[in-house]
Amino acid sequence: MDYSMFQDFGLAGVVIAALFFLIRWFLEDMKAVRNEHKSERDEWRESDIKRHAETNETILHFSKTNQSLAEAINRQADRHRDGDR
């Protein structure tokens, strides 16, 4: 940034230039913080997606096991009922 444009303003120009510098520095710092948080959120999102995939696999496994168990119980009940006749 060319600060020579503030020469005509004297001390006020120096103050204005300092304010612009501080604002620019603050905005750059905030941008760096946002970028850092974005990368952290991306990492968290990836781990969350992986955890959900593992959870879904576990639920599917338990569902199949539960279905097999229900079928086995029904077969046993049918055998018991047929044996009582």
Token match 């995939």: residue? 53
Per-residue model confidence (pLDDT) at position 21? 93
- Which tens digit of pLDDT belongs to each residue from 39-66? 888 889 999 999 999 999 999 999 999 9
Q: List the Cα angle 22/28/30 in 5-degree steps.
A: 100
Which tokens go with 12? 């006020």
pTM of the model as a whole = 0.46
As a whole number of angstroms, the distance between CA 38 and CA 30 comes to: 12
Q: What's the pLDDT at 78?
A: 87
The CA-atom distances, in angstroms, between 63 and each of 58, 60, 76 are 9, 5, 20
